Amino acid sequence: MQTAELDDLLKHHFGYDAFRPLQREIIDAVLDGRDALALLPTGGGKSLCYQLPALASGGVTLVISPLIALMKDQVDGLRANGIAATFLNSSLDASEAAACYDGLDRGAYRLLYVSPERAVMPSFLARLPRWNVERIAVDEAHCVSEWGHDFRPEYRRLHDVRERLPGTPVLALTATATARVREDIERFLHLDEPERFVGSFNRPNLTYRVFEKRDALKQLLAWCTARPNESGIIYAQSRNSAEELARKLDAAGVPARPYHAGLTAAQRSRNQELFIRDEIRVICATVAFGMGINKPNVRYVVHYDVPKSIEGYYQETGRAGRDGLPSECVLFFNGGDAAKQRHFIRQIEDEHERDQADRLLRKMLDFAAEPHCRRASLLRYFGEEPEHANCGSCDNCLNPPEEVDVTIPARKLLSCVYRIRAHSGFGSGAHHLVDVLLGNATEKVQSWGHDRLSTFGIGSELSKDEWLALISDLLRRGYLEEGEHRTLQLANDGVEALRSERSIVYARPRFLKKGAKRARGARESAPVSYEDALFERLRALRKRLADEQGVPPYVIFSDATLRELSGRKPKTLQDFLATSGVGDVKLERYGETFLAEIAAYDAAE
């Protein structure tokens, strides 16, 4: 197919002016009838790689999709663009399913979405050959692999589908990049000399930041209230804390709901639905929340607790900014959390499992304390060489931390920990330790006799905050450990550091930087989004239309489209059509309504 023809299809049906990286190449391979494997990051635009070919040729494109909720959204989205699509899964009753089969027999659809369970049912397989299936797209193809994060045994049987349709090309799509998963996909789906497309895993519209976690709830509230109209996901470690955060945010005027495996399926899907439909702003979730959320306008992802691996962190943060607009990823972190995670891992009984968990956690903790570009560090972790050493949009690039030699204060600190334990037979918490170092003769210090220790008052060179930050760093790096009741004790590396001459360097946390008066200043938490009254009006209009039609707002227009409209303020239908995300059908359905809203806004200004 000619380049210009593909461009036309892209604009007419989807309203887009340009392909995203690799989309065109993948589409070319698909239209060529080749098997292909497409690895693109979340938000890379994988769906278009089979949706556009479905319009460029005669038959039906069969799409295997693992999530029922997602299927309906995808089909709604296609229908909103005037594309004949349907789905078959267990959510349909008998008459709905019969109507769908009927349409398929008549050749009424260009795309058919099915669940993997349905795809391998004998009754389905028997009918399949009648429908002129042109190609098969396997979405979330990593589900075929046990090495991935969402193994689905039915995926292993999908080659049955292909056997019913000999010679039909298969396009496998995933955002999970590891080599083992890739091999499994090719093997289990019986891909035949597939063309492989691997996109960059860089997400240029995401910023990455780590905040020293101090008064976490307060920090979170400040963060969310500074972004009153934006959608965000808060990931927490436990069900309890997801519940509690949702309650507190909601009480503070940030509409929020929890999502975790302890809720019933009905509660979960209700909360998810509220989120997708922009009825609530924030979802407070455990890692149970994720796959199947293709809400494109998630503006921020906050990790309230440190994730267990970089893989998890990348996946979870990846749910921000699918629409390509600037979005923020924030990790709340301190050394105490690191120690807590290590402690959990030590409880794992199986040795192999424990080692594995430990290895993954260490990488994550290194990322949290990384003094250089976080984006570069993420990309390298996934085996990609970053284009620039300095990305200009992570905390370390924007505001590089100062590296300081802390060998002497660290040794004072470690020996003070040692002396306290030697003297009293029990350890102390961080605040007490700092009191001893600073020579504060508090009641506790005196009653335990810690004012008589040789390390009493030897640490006047640092402030209390600086000592606490150093403790946090030494915990994270495994020089210190937390015992019962969060008391401090030396870890093996700490004992070793006291004996050896090894120097200890650390990146001074940003919040301690000299001259920065108020810790965690406004700059660090200023939202990237911009106030825009017209944008908010268009968003309200979109919400009304979406509710009338019973679809999520993003099915009508994406935030990116609304941003462009509120910036350009088109006055004619032709102007309107020039907006990214406006194709022929949406122009006809919504053009007048949105133009009228823009004109009314202009008149009122």
Write out the residues near ligand ADP by the rule CB under 6 A. 16, 19-20, 23, 40, 42-48, 294, 296, 322-323, 558, 580
Q: Which is nearer to ligand ADP, 230 or 243 (CB)?
A: 230
Q: Which does 46 bind (CB under 5 to 8 A by kind): Zn ion, ligand ADP, none?
A: ligand ADP
Positions in 210-229 near Zn ion (CB under 5 A): none
Q: Which is nearer to Zn ion, 171 or 397 (CB)?
A: 397
Residue 329 makes contact with Zn ion by CB under 5 A: no
Q: Which does 397 bind (CB under 5 to 8 A by kind): Zn ion, ligand ADP, none?
A: Zn ion
Q: Which does 394 bind (CB under 5 to 8 A by kind): Zn ion, ligand ADP, none?
A: Zn ion
Q: Which does 239 bind (CB under 5 to 8 A by kind): ligand ADP, Zn ion, none?
A: none
Number of residues that bind Zn ion (CB under 5 A): 5
At closest approach, how far in Å is the CB of 563 from ligand ADP? 13
Q: Which of 394, 471, 497, 534 binds Zn ion (CB under 5 A)?
A: 394
At closest approach, how far in Å is the CB of 275 from Zn ion? 29
- Name which of 299, 286, 298, 301 is nearest 210 in CA terms: 301
Type and span of the H or E element at 101: helix 94-106
Q: Which does 42 bind (CB under 5 to 8 A by kind): Zn ion, ligand ADP, none?
A: ligand ADP
At closest approach, how far in Å is the CB of 507 from ligand ADP? 34
d(CA 240, CA 281) in angstroms, rounded, equals 20
d(CA 498, CA 286) in angstroms, rounded, equals 40
At closest approach, how far in Å is the CB of 213 from ligand ADP? 30
Q: Which is nearer to ligand ADP, 506 or 557 (CB)?
A: 557
Q: Which is nearer to Zn ion, 208 or 304 (CB)?
A: 208
Type and span of the H or E element at 51: helix 48-56
At closest approach, how far in Å is the CB of 329 from Zn ion? 12
Q: Which is nearer to Zn ion, 201 or 448 (CB)?
A: 201
At closest approach, how far in Å is the CB of 296 from ligand ADP? 4
At closest approach, how far in Å is the CB of 444 from ligand ADP? 54
Residue 391 makes contact with Zn ion by CB under 5 A: yes
Residue 397 makes contact with Zn ion by CB under 5 A: yes
Identity of residue 453: L
Q: Which is nearer to Zn ion, 165 or 329 (CB)?
A: 329
d(CA 494, CA 600) in angstroms, rounded, equals 68
DSSP summary character for residue 13: I
Contact (Cβ atoms closer than 8 angstroms) between residue 580 and residue 561: yes
d(CA 140, CA 153) in angstroms, rounded, equals 13
Give the length of the chain: 605
Contact (Cβ atoms closer than 8 angstroms) between residue 490 and residue 479: yes
Q: Which is nearer to Zn ion, 294 or 327 (CB)?
A: 327
At closest approach, how far in Å is the CB of 16 from ligand ADP? 4
Q: Give the Cα-Cα-Cα angle 44, 115, 151 (nearest 5 degrees).
A: 70
- Name which of 315, 67, 298 is nearest 177 in CA terms: 315
Contact (Cβ atoms closer than 8 angstroms) between residue 77 and residue 65: no
Q: Which is nearer to Zn ion, 348 or 398 (CB)?
A: 398
Q: Which does 338 bind (CB under 5 to 8 A by kind): ligand ADP, Zn ion, none?
A: none
Q: Which is nearer to ligand ADP, 16 or 211 (CB)?
A: 16
Q: Which does 391 bind (CB under 5 to 8 A by kind): ligand ADP, Zn ion, none?
A: Zn ion
Two structure tokens written together for 549: 């039609």
Identity of residue 115: S
Options 152-160, 386-394, 404-412, 484-492: segment touching Zn ion (CB under 5 A)? 386-394
Q: Which does 294 bind (CB under 5 to 8 A by kind): Zn ion, ligand ADP, none?
A: ligand ADP
Residues 6+ apart with CB under 8 A from 322: 42, 43, 294, 295, 296, 297, 298
Two structure tokens written together for 79: 């229908």
236 alpha-carbon distance from chain centroid:
13
Q: Which does 296 bind (CB under 5 to 8 A by kind): Zn ion, ligand ADP, none?
A: ligand ADP
DSSP summary character for residue 10: I
Options 144-152, 365-373, 521-529, 544-552: segment touching Zn ion (CB under 5 A)? 365-373
Compute φ and ψ for 31, nearest 5 degrees.
-70, -25
DSSP summary character for residue 515: T
Q: Which is nearer to ligand ADP, 43 or 116 (CB)?
A: 43
Q: Which residue has the tokens 């040729």?
A: 57
Q: Using DSSP, state whether 461 is helix, strand or coil.
A: coil
Two structure tokens written together for 203: 């997400």
Q: Which is nearer to ligand ADP, 73 or 212 (CB)?
A: 73
56 alpha-carbon distance from chain centroid:
32
Name the maximum alpha-carbon separation found in the chain: 91
- Positions in the binding site for Zn ion (CB under 5 A): 373, 375, 391, 394, 397
